[in-house]
Amino acid sequence: MSGSLKLLKLINVILEHVYKFLGLTNPIPEVINAFITAAISFAVISVFVMFLVWMERKVSAHMQSRIGPNRVGPFGLLQTLADAIKLTTKENMEPQKRDKIPYFIAPIIAFVATFMGVVVIPLDKGVTIQNLNIGVLYIIAITSFTVIGILTAGWSSNNKFSLIGGFRSAAQIISYEIPLVLSLVPVIMITGTLDLQKIVEYQAHAGYWFVGPQIIGFLVFLTASTAESNRAPFDIPEAESELTGGFHTEYSGIKFAMFFLGEYISIIIGSSVAVSVFLGGWIAPAFMNFLPVPGFFWFVIKVLLVIYLIMAFRWTFPRLRVDQLMDFGWKILIPIAILNIFLTGLWILWFSKGV
C-alpha cells in the first residue's frame, strides 16, 4: 500500500474518531464525507495551483534570463499567496451596464466545470477521489462546460473585446474537443476501457507506456489540451495584445481570480490525463523501480514535467490567429488523429490475428 493512500485512510480514520467524539452515527454519512473530500481536494488543488503560478513565473523568468519573483518568502514562493490576498481583498469593479446575473455566474461556471474534472484523476494505484468506469468520457464532457462560463462572461460584460474573446473561445474549444477525443480513442481501443485506473494498470502490466506506440496521439493530445485550457500559443480568447484581456477584460478581484484558477486547474487536468493515459500515471520509470517512493510521487513528477513543457510552449511561441487556429485544428490535428486511429486499428487487427 502506498503512502498517499495511507494518508487518505488516515484522514478517514481521524474523521471517524471526530464523529465518534461528537456522538454521531458511524459510518460517516456519505454526504458529509463527500463534502469533506471536496474541501480537502479543493485546498490541495488550490495550493498546487499557487505553486504552479509561482513555477510559471520562475520558468518564464529563467527562460527570459530574468530571476522572477524572489522577494516574498524563500525563492518568492509566497508571491502567489500575496497576489491571492490582493485579488480577494480588492474592490470588486463591475461595468455599469453589465448583464448582472450571467456576469456573476460566469466565473463560477468556468471554475466549477474545470474543477469537477479533478474527481476521476488516478493519483495512485486505487487512489481516486471517485473512480468512474467512464473516467475519460467524464473528464472530456465536464471540462468542456468551461466554454459556457467563458461565453457567458464575454456576453454579459457588455464589452466588445470581451464579446470577441468569448466567441473566439467558443469556436476554439468546440473545434479542439474533437482532436482531444480522437487522440484518446486509440488508447481506449487498445485497453478496451474508459476507466483511467484500468488504463494505467494496463500500462503497468504491458510494461510499456503508450507514449511509445502512440507518440502521435500524445502530441495531438498535448496540443489540443493546451488549446482547451486557453493557453498560449492558443490563447486567442484573451490575446493580450489584441483584445487587452479578452473575456475577462471587465473582471477584477476574486472573479478574475476564479478564471485564473480555472485556467491553471484545466492545465493540471490536461496534463494529468496526458500522464495517466500516455505516460504511465503512477508507474515508476523502469530504471528507477527500486526506489521506495509511492506512485503518487511519480505521478506528480510526471505532471510537473508535462506542465513545464506546456509552459515552455507559452513562452516560446507566438500566438495563432483565429482562422489559422481553426485550420490547424481541422486540417492538421483531426486528420492526423483519425489516421492514428486507423493505424492503431490495423495494429490491433494484426496482433489479434497473430494470436
Partner 1 sequence: MKKIVTYFKDIIVGLVNLILGMSVTIKYFFKKTNTQQYPEEKLPLPDRSRSLIKLIYDQEKEEFNCVACMMCQKACPNNCIKLEGARMPDGKRKMINFKLDFSTCIFCGYCVEACGFDALTFIPEDYENSVYQRGSLLHDEHALKWVRPTVASNPPRELNQSTQVI
Partner 2 sequence: MTDLLLSQIDINSNSLTETDEYIVNLGPQHPATHGVLRLVVKLDGEVVKETMPVLGYLHRSIEKICENRTYPQCITYTDRVDYASAMSANLAYAMAAEKLLNIEIPPRAQWLRMIFVELQRIASHLLWLGAFAGDLGAFTPFLYGLRERERVLDLFEMTCGQRLTYNYIRIGGVMIDVLPEFVEKCRLFLDYFFKKVDEYEELLTYNPIFLERTKGVGFITPEEAINWGLAGPSLRGSGVSCDIRKQQPYLFYDQIDFKEEISYGGDCWSRYKVRMNEMRQCVSIIRQCLDHMGPGAVEAKLPPVLKGPNGQEAYSRIESSRGEMGVYLVGNGTPKPWKCKFRCASFNNLSVIDKLTRGWKVADIMAVLGSLDIIIPEVDR
With CB under 5 to 8 Å by kind, the binding choice for 241 among partner 1, partner 2, none is: partner 2
Phi, psi of 237, rounded to the nearest 5 degrees = -65, -30
3-state secondary structure of 124: strand
Binding status of residue 26 toward partner 2 by CB under 8 A: no
**C-beta pairs of 56-65 under 8 Å, 24+ apart in sequence:** 56/311, 56/314, 59/308, 59/311, 59/312, 59/315, 60/311, 60/314, 60/315, 63/312, 63/315, 63/316, 64/315
**By the rule CB under 8 A, 241 interacts with partner 2:** yes
Site for partner 2 contains 319 (CB under 8 A)? yes
Output phi, psi for 290, to 5 deg.
Answer: -75, -20
Residue range at the interface with partner 2 (CB under 8 A); choices 9-17, 28-36, 60-68, 278-286: 60-68
Smallest separation (angstroms) from partner 2 to the CB of 68: 12
In angstroms, the CA 283 to CA 199 distance is 12
Minimum CB separation of residue 3 from partner 2 in Å reads 39
Asked if the bond preceding 318 is cis, omega within 30° of 0, the reply is no
Q: Which residues bind partner 1 (CB under 8 A)?
A: 59, 61-67, 70, 312-313, 315-317, 332, 336
The region of 108-116, 183-191, 268-276, 316-324 touching partner 2 under the rule CB under 8 A is 316-324
> How far apart are CB 8 and partner 2 at their closest, in Å?
40
| 301: partner contacted, choices partner 2, partner 1, none (Cβ within 5-8 A by kind) | none
- Shortest spacing between CB 285 and partner 1, in angstroms: 21
By C-beta, is 197 or 223 nearer to partner 2?
Answer: 223
Give the type of residue at 195: D
Considering only 93, 101, 324, 351, the residue that binds partner 2 (CB under 8 A) is: 324
Tell me the closest approach of the beta carbon of residue 168 to partner 1, in angstroms: 22
20 binds, among partner 2, partner 1, none (CB under 5 to 8 A by kind): none
- Three-state DSSP state, 82: helix
Structure-derived torsion over alpha carbons of residues 235, 135, 197, 227, reported in degrees to the nearest 10 = -10
- DSSP output for 193-259: ---HHHHHHHHHHHTS-TTTTTHHHHHHHHHHHHHHTT-TTS-TTT-HHHHTTGGGTT--HHHHHHH
Find the shortest distance in angstroms from Cβ 235 to partner 1.
17
Largest CA distance in the chain: 69
> Which entry of partner 1, partner 2, none binds 258, CB below 5 to 8 A by partner kind?
none
In the complex, which residues of this chain contact partner 2 (CB under 8 A)? 60, 63-66, 160-161, 164, 168, 232-233, 235-236, 239-244, 315-324
